[in-house]
Structures are given as structure tokens and as C-alpha cells.
Structure 1
Amino acid sequence: MASGGPRSVASGLLFLNLIMYVVVAVIAGWAINYSIDESKNSLNGVSPPVRLFPIYFPIGNLATGFFVIFALITGVVGVSTSLTGLHDVSQGHPASMMSAAASSIVTWTLTLLAMGLACKEISVSWRPASLRTLEAFTIILAGTQLLCVGSLHAGAHGAIVQTVLGGRV
């Protein structure tokens, strides 16, 4: 029962991250949809350098396009990692715990990339409230995903230590 602690912490963090990654994916998806809808009206009479990025973002600043794309990718990968991680943690086998820990590291690195772009967007100029919300969720998720990685690795270590090795060789 010693691994119940890290496993329950990991389950709680995975569920919290699942909800937060869904919010990130929804807000980023809305921002992309809004930009696609508004780019036709916004690009009338604009000079050619604006057309270098396939989606012109009429909201935010020059870092918004990259941030929103990476936030959407991070949100989708985070949702899938959280769902599979919840399943793997519920099984409690060492191999499934290590699988959850490995996929959470990949998600954490993507979240760090999106967080770096959020920090760049914050430093460039003013943004609307929807983008500030997306930035806040991304920055908070970088910390909670790091905690989740640590708890999954602790749970995996506990599951490996509790594995009974025996039998005839």
C-alpha cells in the first residue's frame, strides 16, 4: 500500500491536468477559428510580409500565431496523455506506470515550449483577455505537469520496488 500515496497524487494531478489541457485546447481552437474567420477582412490593403504566416492573427501581437498553434498542439497531446495516464495509473503495473511517466515527460516538454512562447507574447505587447487566460493556463500547466511527472516517476519506482521476484529459474 506504500505506492497508494504517489499513485493517488498522480491520479489527482492527471485529472487536474486533463481539465486544464481541455481548457487550453478549447481556447486555442477558438483563437485559430477566430483568426481564420477574421483574416479575410483584416488583410485588405495589408503589405506582403503579413502573409508570411498562413494564419493572420488580428488579435494579439506578432508572437500570437506561434503561441496559439503550439498551445493547441500542447492541449491535444496533454489531453491524450492525461487520459492514457489515468488508465495506466489505475492498472498499477510497473510497465504501465513507466509508460505514463514517459508520455508525461513528452507532454511536459511541449508545455514548456508553449510556455516559452507565452512568455515571449507577454513581453512583446498588450493582448486581449482570452489570450491572457490562455497564457496563464499554459504557465500554470508547466508547473502542474512537472509535479505530475515527479509523482508518476515516484509511483513507477514504488511499483517496481513492490514487484515480487520469485519462482524457479
Structure 2
Amino acid sequence: MAVGAASRRYIGPLLCINLVMHAAVLGIAGWSLNKFIDRETHRHLGGNTATGYLLVFSLMAGVVGACSVLPALLHVRAPWHSESLAAAASTGLVSWALTALAFGLACKHITLGNRGRRLRTLEAFITISTLTQLFYLLLLHAGALSGVLGVGQACGNHGETCCREIPRGELAADHKTAGGAPSPDA
């Protein structure tokens, strides 16, 4: 119970951090890609053979990441239903996968060297964004598994019969049907 309450408390601020990080990745990667396509030399850009791939995947990760914050905010504002949990978790997982791919390209970019200040900043933002997105997913799933958020309370939406326990008598192997004949399972 405490894990779910703690994760609900931290998800909102973490979503704001993720949105800011993805917006920063979009801004830096968009500017850098524009300069890179125009073959303009800029003292803060630099670059190597992995720069083009890094910029393209950073833009994709930034767009999908910013869009994944919307279902997550709806899940935070909603009464934590399983329907909104599914949307938040699936878009968050796709966003994290693309951000992790951009992180891998950033690692390769660091290894090759010859990068400017803007590209180093982009690499840092991608690294932080990968970690915060992973932390968000862990908190989201910890809350869902604890029963405080999401799946554990979804039965309350459909009425009391969904969440009732099945009486032990109905589970017995020698249970007879309503007509008095033994059940086919017995």
C-alpha cells in the first residue's frame, strides 16, 4: 500500500520533468539537424559519422516522449482506472524504447568524439531523459501492482459482483449442478 501511495505522489512531478526534458531534446536536436542538413559550420555543433543518426533518433524520441506525457497526465488526473493505466504504460514504454535507442546512439557518438557543445548538451539531455522515463515506468508499474493504482481498483467501476470472492463451496470438486446431477467435471 505504501509503494502505491509513494508512486502516485512522485509521478506528477516526474511527468513535468519528462516533458521539459523531451522539449529540450526537441529544441536542441531540431536546431542541430537544421544546421547539419544545410552543411553550415557552427562553432558549437561539431559532429562525426554518427551525428545524423543521433539527431534523427533524438527527434523521434523527443516527439514520442512529449506525446506520451499526455495519456500519462490523463491517468494522473483520472481516478487511476485500468483503462488509463494501459494507455499511459504503453505509450510510456514506446517512448522509453525510442529514448533508449537514442541513448545508445549518444554513447556511440561520445565514443567517436569530435562533438561540439550543443551535441554534448543533447547527449546529456538524452541520458537524463532515458533515466527519468525508466523511473516513471517503474513507479507506474509499482503503483499498479500494489493495488492502489490501476488494476486493483478497476473492479470498483463495474459493480460489487466483480470483486467478490468466490465462495469455497463453489470451488469444491464434488459440487453438484442445480438439477442435482453431478457436474461433468467431477
The answer, yes or no, to whether TM exceeds 0.5 is: yes
Q: Which amino acid aligns with 2:136?
A: C
Supply the RMSD in Å over aligned alpha carbons: 2.2
Offset of residue 93 of structure 1: 1.2
2:140 partner amino acid: L
The runs of 5 or more residues in structure 2 that have no matched partner are 165-186
> Of residues 77, 81, 85 in structure 1, which corresponds to 2:68?
81
Output the TM-score relative to the length of structure 1: 0.81
Is the CA contact 1:17–1:144 (under 8 Å) kept in the aligned structure 2? Answer: yes
Q: C-alpha displacement at 1:126, in angstroms?
A: 2.1
- Aligned residue in 1 for 2:152: 161
Give the count of matched residue pairs: 152
Tell me which moved more, 29-38 or 132-141: 29-38
Matched AA of 1:166: E
Contact 1:101 1:156 in 2 (8 A): no
Larger Rg: 2
Q: Alpha-carbon deviation of 1:88?
A: 2.0
**Distance in 2 (alpha carbons) for counterparts of 1:124 and 1:34:** 20
For residues 1-169 of structure 1, the aligned pairs below 5 Å read 3-38=4-39, 59-91=46-78, 92-157=80-145, 158-159=148-149, 160-163=151-154, 164=156, 166-167=160-161
Which segment is superposed worse, 155-164 or 27-36? 155-164
User: 1:103 & 1:20 partners in 2: Cα distance?
Assistant: 16
CA distance in 1, matches of 2:87, 2:8: 14
Distance, in Å, in 2 between the alignment partners of 1:97 and 1:9 is: 16
Which residues of structure 1 form unaligned runs of 5+? 42-57
Structure with higher RCO (Cα < 8 A, 6+ apart): 1
Give the Cα–Cα distance (whole angstroms) in 2 for the partners of residues 36 and 126 of structure 1.
Answer: 18
Does the 8 Å contact 1:28/1:134 carry over to 2? yes
Shift of 1:73: 0.4
